[in-house]
């Protein structure tokens, strides 16, 4: 019997939101050492994402996403005491089907899909489960309440309805057979929650993305932000950047343009749309804007985990500036691109002509560092396989 893995993800691709890119990161890592089945609500939409998986022993089983029924979700919220899960009967059915067909070495799933654990345990009681913990979601949950729910009564109501949020996340972190963290900082936190059980692992975001940008202008006039525009850290960061950085720059030079690229822009972001601020919504190919723009900015100071868009910018070769709060997970890799506040963004944008050569050199160094992260990820995945594949499976694999 060959060793095979099952990876359950809401979605995965080489671009888009951080969760889908980190899922792709991990699927590519595991598939490099063992055949992997992926069950997901949305497989890769990009040709490059599909091509990467086609070169490896990976099979993607995509099930149709179900419409969200607000009333049903409210009932589930009141029953569970949290809104962590994104339940799908189609996903549950496909997971059950695959579990009956194969005896996987272990299964990786995200916190959002942890409602599937009882199903997994009922079909394969002894199968090991690893929790892919992309963020410490309870911290994001608290930030969301503070920054996006402005009405005090609604905030109290939301907190009351989610009274089991922290308890549930901590319980899942503790009960999983193993845990995958996106950064050393997150891993330390999860180790503390799990009481240092030695089965927490670090897989850094380091996708083998193609270099997109080859030509660099001496002037910096086209600025770019990429991210989901209904996520509160992106909303807050972009609004601050426009007010404190872009508008002052525009007053001194009307040739500046700012492109805000990402799906689901909320009303506050749509209201920014103007001659010089371009709110695109979802785009078919973000690389068009990476080629067009001189500099990507990541003015995000909220939200936990690692900002995967930083890795994307480095790998695709676009000069970059990021808030120090977005540098987690890139220590020693993205140091040159870090600014401490909005004034730092403005200062570095104005001095871009003097530092463009240094930007290009720093990008090349960062790309080499990410290549080492990819190799380290493969070593970690091999260690996970060693830790969780049973003796019987190993013997059978050798015999086959």
What is the band of 36 on the pLDDT scale with cuts at 50, 70, 90?
A: very high
Give buried/exposed letters for 131-166 (b at 16+ CB in 10 A, else e): bbbbbbbbbbbebbbeebbeeeeeeeebeebbeebe
Domain presence at residue 213: no
For residue 396, what pLDDT is reported? 41
From 30-39, 285-294, 298-307, the region with the lowest mean pLDDT: 298-307
Count of domains observed in the chain: 2
* pLDDT, average across residues 23-28: 97
Give helix then strand counts, H and E, for the chain. Answer: 17, 13
User: pLDDT at residue 147 above 90?
Assistant: no
Which of 28, 240, 235, 55 is closest to 148 using CA atoms? 235
* pLDDT, average across residues 278-302: 94
Q: What are phi and psi of 165, to 5 degrees?
A: -60, -60
Local structure of residue 114 (DSSP, 8 states): G
Domain presence at residue 90: yes
* pLDDT, average across residues 205-226: 94
Q: How far apart are CA 122 and CA 83, in angstroms?
A: 24
CB 136 within 8 A of CB 305: yes
Q: How far apart are CA 231 and CA 263, in angstroms?
A: 10
Same domain, 265 and 349: yes
Domain presence at residue 392: no
| 312: number of Cβ within 10 Å | 24
Domain presence at residue 289: yes
Assigned token pair, 97: 């089907």
Q: How far apart are CA 286 and CA 210, in angstroms?
A: 13
Task: List pLDDT tens digits, range 42-101.
Answer: 999 999 999 999 999 999 999 998 888 888 888 888 888 998 888 899 999 999 999 999
For residue 356, what pLDDT is reported? 94
CB 321 within 8 A of CB 356: no
What is 252-295 written as a DSSP string? H-TT-EEEEE-SS--HHHHTT-SSSEEEEES-S-THHHHHH-SE
User: pLDDT at residue 15 above 60?
Assistant: yes
Domain presence at residue 166: yes
* pLDDT, average across residues 248-269: 95
Same domain, 192 and 270: no
Task: List pLDDT tens digits, range 299-312.
Answer: 999 877 789 999 99
User: pLDDT at residue 1 above 50?
Assistant: no
For residue 355, what pLDDT is reported? 94
3-class DSSP state of 365: helix
Task: List pLDDT tens digits, range 159-189.
Answer: 888 999 999 999 999 999 999 999 999 999 9
* pLDDT, average across residues 10-33: 94
Instruction: Give the CATH number for residue 319.
Output: 3.40.50.2000
Could you tell me what percent of the chain has a pLDDT over 90? 76
Q: How far apart are CA 183 and CA 204, in angstroms?
A: 6
CB 110 within 8 A of CB 84: no
pTM over 0.85: yes
Which of 99, 84, 106, 98 is closest to 10 using CA atoms? 84
CB 174 within 8 A of CB 168: no
Q: How far apart are CA 191 and CA 214, in angstroms?
A: 42
Local structure of residue 131 (DSSP, 8 states): E
Same domain, 26 and 174: yes
In DSSP terms, 133 is beta-bridged to 181
Same domain, 68 and 179: yes
Q: How far apart are CA 13 and CA 35, in angstroms?
A: 18
User: pLDDT at residue 400 above 50?
Assistant: no
Rounded to 5°, the CA angle 182-184-186 comes to: 65
Q: In sequence order, which ranges of 102-136 are alpha helices (DSSP H)?
A: 117-123
Same domain, 191 and 298: no
Same domain, 191 and 271: no
User: pLDDT at residue 391 above 50?
Assistant: no
For residue 95, what pLDDT is reported? 97
Q: How far apart are CA 27 and CA 290, in angstroms?
A: 25
Rounded to 5°, the CA angle 18-20-22 comes to: 65
For residue 149, what pLDDT is reported? 85
For residue 369, with 0-12 CB atoms within 10 Å meaning exposed, 13-18 middle and 19 or more buried, which class applies?
middle
User: pLDDT at residue 374 above 60?
Assistant: yes
For residue 168, what pLDDT is reported? 94
Same domain, 199 and 258: no
Same domain, 47 and 194: yes
Same domain, 176 and 227: no
Same domain, 198 and 226: no
Residues of the domain holding 271 = 222-371
What is the band of 2 on the pLDDT scale with cuts at 50, 70, 90?
A: low
User: pLDDT at residue 242 above 90?
Assistant: yes
For residue 398, what pLDDT is reported? 35
For residue 390, what pLDDT is reported? 59
Same domain, 187 and 226: no
């Amino acid at each position: 019997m060959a060793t095979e893995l099952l990876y359950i993800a809401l979605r995965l691709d080489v671009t888009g939101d951080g969760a889908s890119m980190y899922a792709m990161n991990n699927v590519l890592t595991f598939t490099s050492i063992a055949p992997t089945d992926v069950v997901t609500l949305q497989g890769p939409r990009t040709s490059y994402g599909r091509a990467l998986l086609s070169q490896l022993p990976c099979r993607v089983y995509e099930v149709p996403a179900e419409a969200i029924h607000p009333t049903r979700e409210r009932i589930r919220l009141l029953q569970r005491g949290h809104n962590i899960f994104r339940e799908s009967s189609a996903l549950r059915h496909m997971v059950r089907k695959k579990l009956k067909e194969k005896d996987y070495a272990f299964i990786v799933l995200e916190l959002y899909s942890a409602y599937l654990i009882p199903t997994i345990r009922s079909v394969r009681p002894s199968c090991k489960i690893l929790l892919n913990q992309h963020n410490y979601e309870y911290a994001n949950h608290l930030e969301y309440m503070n920054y996006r729910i402005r009405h005090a009564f609604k905030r109290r109501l939301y907190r009351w309805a989610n009274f089991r949020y922290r308890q549930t996340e901590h319980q899942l972190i503790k009960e999983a057979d193993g845990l995958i963290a996106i950064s050393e900082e997150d891993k330390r936190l999860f180790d503390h929650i799990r009481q240092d059980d030695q089965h927490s692992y670090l897989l850094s975001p380091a996708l083998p993305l193609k270099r997109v940008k080859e030509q660099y202008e001496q002037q910096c006039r086209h600025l770019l932000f990429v991210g989901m525009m209904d996520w509160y850290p992106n909303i807050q960061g972009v609004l601050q950047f426009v007010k404190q950085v872009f508008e002052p720059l525009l007053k001194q030079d009307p040739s500046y343009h700012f492109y805000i690229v990402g799906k689901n822009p909320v009303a506050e972001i749509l209201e920014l749309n103007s001659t010089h601020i371009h709110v695109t919504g979802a785009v078919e190919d973000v690389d068009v804007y990476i080629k067009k723009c001189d500099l990507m900015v990541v003015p995000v100071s909220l939200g936990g985990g690692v900002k995967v868009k930083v890795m994307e910018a480095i790998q695709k070769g676009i000069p970059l500036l990021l808030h120090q709060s977005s540098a987690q997970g890139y220590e020693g890799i993205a140091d040159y691109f870090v600014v401490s506040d909005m004034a730092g963004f403005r200062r570095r944008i104005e001095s871009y002509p003097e530092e463009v050569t240094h930007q290009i050199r720093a990008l090349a160094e960062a790309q080499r560092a990410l290549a080492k992260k990819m190799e380290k990820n493969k070593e970690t995945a091999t260690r996970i396989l060693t830790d969780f594949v049973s003796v019987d499976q190993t013997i059978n694999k050798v015999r086959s």
